[in-house]
Amino acid sequence: MTTLTSSHPLRGPEGYTKLWELIKEIDVAMMTTVAEDGALHSRPMATQQIDVDHAELWFFTSIDSPKIADIYHDREIGLSYAAPDDQRYVSVSGRAFVVRDREKANDLWTPDAKIWFPLGVNDPHLALLRIEVDSAQFWDSSASAVVKLVGLAKRKLTGHRPVSLGENVKVNLR
């Protein structure tokens, strides 16, 4: 596994912009909640909307899902986004809120959602999760494969660490 060598806090527009760019084309995140007994539970969730202006992420869920009980117990959640082929990894921390809003559900509705909610936005089990993003950390190694290989070869031959194989950035949103 490649270790990313640059780590620095990044606040402001550059960090926000980079964060949203990294996750906008990753459709599925692993959402981790905390159960009443303290156990962590993770499950894949399809991101329905990235609201950059409010630092929020939106998801569809079933009101009957065990994650709803977890969220009522502890709103703190983690989201992990990964695009290994592009060497993009994002970890998001925030608070989850259960929302029952038919108008918002209609705004977010896609034909794919009908697989889980066959009655559409009128499905009585349909609920929304609004995640207020507090902070995120991302790892982005956009260097080409050739650059990475040269850096790794240099390390193997000289024992010196490559200058940079990517960036590790922390972003605080609230």
The phi-psi region of residue 12 (left if phi > 0; otherwise alpha if psi is between -120 and 50; otherwise beta) is left
Distance CA 23, CA 12 (A): 17
| Res. 144: pLDDT tops 60 | no
Q: What is the mean pLDDT of residues 79-102?
A: 95
In this prediction the pTM is 0.79
pLDDT at residue 16, as a whole number: 76
Domain residue limits, the chain: 6-172
Distance CA 46, CA 61 (A): 9
Distance CA 131, CA 73 (A): 15
Q: What is the mean pLDDT of residues 79-98?
A: 95
* Alpha carbon separation from 26 to 61, 140, 155, 161 (Å, rounded): 18, 14, 32, 30
Determine whether domain 6-172 maps to CATH 2.60.120.560. Answer: no
| Res. 41: pLDDT tops 60 | yes
The 3-state DSSP composition of the chain as helix, strand, coil percent (nearest 5) reads: 30, 40, 30
